[in-house]
Each structure stands twice: as structure tokens, then as C-alpha cells.
């Protein structure tokens, strides 16, 4: 059996889980094994239906009093979530467990590996089944690909986000059976857990989910300089992000950073303003479908990655785009 962890945060599914499920589906086909999924908390009908389209046979739904006490939504605790997966590993001995290579996916699977002493490979993009699995995985934020051999009764893999197109239509849809169970947790499993949440930008779309991202770099010049980027993002219903230089200088909070040590974005359009396009920045922006670069330097690295470019001063170009948009909208 091949098992995929379906990541949910307060009942909202992380779409990257379906990339993991696509790779899991390929593995199940290579090895003629049934495909199962596991999630923590609850599973909406819509989720169960989507899993059926991938040919998932059984969905294991883990819950625990300790994590949901008083709430309908289950709060996050990495070792506790891992324990739910460990219970299925012990009971059903899957050949592999896959999860999204998100912050949480990687964290939970690292706990699973530590609890079971099983081998784990993070950020895989390809896998060839066999006694040992041959996996291709991304290193250094995607600037290097590495082949690795993974041996073990159960192999643990996470899938690099935005690296595998989600495929469903070639699979035979299944009616998904559900197996609800209560995870047995120890005190140790609850040592790290969410106790409160602080929303940073209430009502605004998050960087990870925005369809348009307006990003600023050193060229913006100051914290105040971001006002024109905010204005453009508001007009487009998008979010504002920045390079490490601007978070380092305190012009934007670290939560807004795009890149290897910040957020990975995947908008339809990334408007990059006064950003040079260092590799560590581009790693976070490579999920963008289109890039519009605004930069005074025609030779800036970002120009070689951009679909569209405006060579010019962002302080003139950005307000001009906003003005044109307002004019066209009447
Ligand atoms: C381990 C490590 C991790 C890192 N992680 C990240 C990360 O997660 N994210 C990240 O962004 N960086 C990261 N960096 C830093 C990265 O290497 C670059 O230093 C950084 O991205 C550069 O930021 P920048 O493009 O804003 O600034 P610069 O490189 O200084 O570029 C500024 C650009 O603005 C242009 N410009 C100037 N004035 C104007 C104007 N008026 N109008 C238009 N254009 C103008 C310039 O031509 C230039 O291209 C990391 C570095 C390391 C070593």
C-alpha cells in the first residue's frame, strides 16, 4: 500500500498535497499497490470526492481529544500528527508514505522518521520504485538536483512544491472507504503545539495564495516607498512581498519575504519592482506563471527570467500602472 498525508489547516486543504498524491499515484501504478490517504481532524465530502478521483481506496481520518478539546478545528502539533501516521505504518505497513514538501509536511515526516527509524528523502520530484527507491530531489532551493537511493521497509518522501503537475483524469475513480481512528498520544507528542494565532494582515490575501504578487526590493528605497506597491496590489486583489534586503532593513516584516529563506509564491503574475533577481530570491518565485520585472538595469538577473519587463524607475512606472488601471475601470 502507498499512503499519502493530506495536509489540512483548520479544515483547509493544502493544495500541494495533491502534488504528493499525484506522485503517490505513479508509485502505486509502478508497484501495483493500493493507494491510501491519511488526514488529521475531519474530511469534508468534497475532499473525499477529490481523493476518489485519484483512485484512493481508503482515507484514514485521525483525531484526538487532546488536539481538538473545545474546538471543532484540530490544532497543529507536529509530533502528534506524526504519531497518527506512525500508527498506520505499524498497522498497515505501507511501502511508502508521501507528503507535500511544505513546512509542515517536511516537519511532520521528519518526526515520523525519528519515531520509526525509517529513511526519509525531502523535496523529491521523481521516484523509481524497486527494492530500493531511486529518488530525484531538489537541493539548495531547487538550484541542484540530486539522485538518492532510499532503502527501508517503508520509505518516507516529501514532494517539492510546484514541481509536479497534478493529474487526475487518467485514473480510475474509486469510492473511498473511510477509517476513522483515535490516535494514542503521549505528553511528549504535545510538547510543541499551537496555543494561539496572530493574524498579520487581517482580511488581506496571503502571499502563498495570492493570484498576483507585487514584490519590492532594495530599489524601492524605503518602507514608505512600499505605499505605491500596496496600492497596485490592492487594485489587483493581490499581496505585497519583498526581497531579503527589504526584510533585513526592516522595511517589511520577515513574513513578507519571498525566497529560499522566505515564502514560496505561485501567483498567476509576479510583478517584481527593484529586485535584482538573486538565485535565493528566484527560488521563492519560480512557481509564478508570469513575471513582470520593473528595473532600471536592463542587465539585472531578473530580466533573464521575466516574461515582461519595463526598464525604468519603479517610482514612476508603478504609479503609472495603477493610474492606468483606475482609468480603465472608470
Ligand atoms: C543563504 C542565503 C539565503 C538568502 N535568502 C534570500 C531570500 O529568501 N530571499 C531573497 O530575496 N534574498 C535572499 N538572499 C539574498 C540574495 O542573495 C540577494 O542579496 C537579495 O535577494 C537582493 O535583494 P534585492 O534584489 O532587493 O537587492 P539588490 O540585489 O541590491 O537589487 C536591487 C535592484 O533594484 C534595482 N533598482 C534600484 N533602483 C531602482 C529603481 N528606482 N527602479 C527600479 N529598479 C531599481 C537595481 O537595478 C537592482 O537590480 C539570501 C542570501 C543567502 C546567502
Q: What is the secondary structure of 184-226 as a DSSP string?
A: ---GGGGSS-------SSTTSPPTTT-SEEEEE-GGG-SSGGG
**pLDDT at position 251:** 97
The answer, yes or no, to whether any atom of ligand 1 lies below 6 A from the CB of 259, is yes
Strands 308-311 and 290-295: parallel
Q: Which residue has the cell 505499524?
A: 90
| Nearest Cα residue to atom 35 of ligand 1 | 274
Q: Which CATH code is given to the segment(s) 212-329?
A: 3.40.50.1220
DSSP state of 237: T
pLDDT tens digit sequence for 171-201 = 677 889 999 999 999 999 999 988 888 776 5
Q: Taking the domains of the chain in order of start, what are their residue ranges? A: 2-190, 212-329
**pLDDT at position 202:** 54
State yes or no: pLDDT of 228 exceeds 80: yes
CB atoms under 10 Å from CB of 72, counted, come to 9
Specify the length of the chain in residues.
Answer: 330
**pLDDT at position 29:** 92
Residue with the bigger pLDDT between 208 and 323: it is 323
pLDDT tens digit sequence for 71-118 = 555 789 999 999 999 999 999 999 999 999 998 999 999 999 999 999
Report how far ligand 1's centroid is from the alpha carbon of 277 (Å). 6
| One fold for 2-190 and 212-329 | yes
Report how far ligand 1's centroid is from the alpha carbon of 275 (Å). 5
State yes or no: pLDDT of 169 exceeds 80: no
Q: Which CATH code is given to the segment(s) 2-190?
A: 3.40.50.620
User: Within the chain, where are the H helices?
Assistant: 16-31, 45-53, 65-68, 78-92, 103-116, 227-236, 244-248, 279-285, 314-329
Report how far ligand 1's centroid is from the alpha carbon of 171 (Å). 44
**pLDDT at position 170:** 63
pLDDT-above-70 percentage for the chain: 95
Q: Give 215's pLDDT tier (boundaries 50, 70, 90).
A: very high
3-state secondary structure of 192: coil
| Nearest Cα residue to atom 8 of ligand 1 | 259
The answer, yes or no, to whether any atom of ligand 1 lies below 6 A from the CB of 316, is no
The answer, yes or no, to whether any atom of ligand 1 lies below 6 A from the CB of 275, is yes
Pick from 11-25, 58-72, 106-120, 226-240: least confident: 58-72
The answer, yes or no, to whether any atom of ligand 1 lies below 6 A from the CB of 16, is no
What's the whole-number average pLDDT of the chain?
92
When pLDDT is averaged across residues 229-254 and rounded to a whole number, the result is: 96
**pLDDT at position 325:** 94
Q: Is the dihedral of CA 167, 172, 177, 181 positive or negative?
A: negative
**For ligand 1, mutation pick of 245, 313, 316 (most atoms within 8 Å of CB):** 245
User: Within 32-102, where are the H helices?
Assistant: 45-53, 65-68, 78-92
Q: Is the dihedral of CA 4, 206, 318, 247 positive or negative?
A: negative
**Closest by alpha carbon to 295, among 281, 280, 309?**
309
Report how far ligand 1's centroid is from the alpha carbon of 276 (Å). 5
State yes or no: pLDDT of 217 exceeds 70: yes
Q: Is the dihedral of CA 47, 51, 57, 60 positive or negative?
A: negative
**Rounded CA separation 299/281 (Å):** 17
The answer, yes or no, to whether any atom of ligand 1 lies below 6 A from the CB of 276, is yes
Report how far ligand 1's centroid is from the alpha carbon of 163 (Å). 24
Amino acid at each position: 500500500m502507498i499512503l499519502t498525508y493530506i495536509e489540512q489547516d483548520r479544515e483547509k486543504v493544502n493544495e500541494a498535497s495533491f502534488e504528493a498524491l499525484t506522485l503517490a499515484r505513479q508509485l502505486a501504478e509502478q508497484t501495483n499497490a493500493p493507494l491510501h490517504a491519511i488526514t488529521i481532524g475531519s474530511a469534508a465530502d468534497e475532499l473525499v470526492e477529490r481523493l476518489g478521483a485519484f483512485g484512493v481506496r481508503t482515507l484514514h481520518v485521525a483525531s484526538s481529544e487532546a488536539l481538538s478539546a473545545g474546538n471543532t478545528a484540530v490544532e497543529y502539533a507536529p509530533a502528534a500528527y506524526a504519531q497518527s501516521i506512525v500508527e498506520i505504518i505499524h498497522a498497515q505497513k505501507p511501502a511508502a508514505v508521501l507528503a507535500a514538501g511544505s513546512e509542515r509536511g517536511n516537519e511532520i515526516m521528519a518526526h515520523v522518521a525519528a519515531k520509526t527509524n525509517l529513511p526519509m528523502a525531502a523535496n523529491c520530484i521523481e521516484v523509481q520504485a524497486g527494492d530500493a527507491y531511486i529518488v530525484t530531489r531538489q537541493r539548495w532551493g531547487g538550484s541542484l538536483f540530486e539522485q538518492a537511493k532510499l532503502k527501508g521497509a517503508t520509505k518516507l518522501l516529501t514532494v517539492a512544491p510546484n514541481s509536479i503537475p497534478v493529474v487526475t483524469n487518467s485514473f480510475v475513480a474509486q469510492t473511498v472507504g473511510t477509517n476513522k481512528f483515535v490516535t494514542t498520544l503521549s505528553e511528549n507528542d504535545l510538547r510543541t503545539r499551537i496555543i494561539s494565532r496572530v493574524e498579520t494582515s487581517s482580511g488581506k490575501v496571503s502571499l502563498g495564495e495570492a493570484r498576483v504578487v507585487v514584490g519590492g526590493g532594495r530599489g524601492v528605497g524605503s518602507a514608505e516607498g512600499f505605499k505605491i506597491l500596496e496600492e497596485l496590489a490592492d487594485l489587483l486583489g493581490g499581496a505585497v512581498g519583498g526581497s531579503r534586503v527589504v526584510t533585513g532593513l526592516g522595511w517589511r516584516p520577515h513574513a513578507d519575504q519571498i525566497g529560499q529563506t522566505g515564502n514560496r509564491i505561485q501567483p498567476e503574475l509576479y510583478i517584481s519592482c527593484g529586485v535584482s533577481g538573486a538565485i535565493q530570491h528566484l527560488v521563492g518565485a519560480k512557481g509564478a506563471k508570469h513575471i513582470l520585472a520593473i528595473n532600471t538595469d536592463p542587465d539585472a538577473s531578473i530580466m533573464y527570467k521575466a516574461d515582461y519587463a519595463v526598464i525604468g524607475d519603479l517610482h514612476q512606472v508603478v504609479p503609472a500602472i495603477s493610474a492606468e488601471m483606475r482609468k480603465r475601470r472608470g
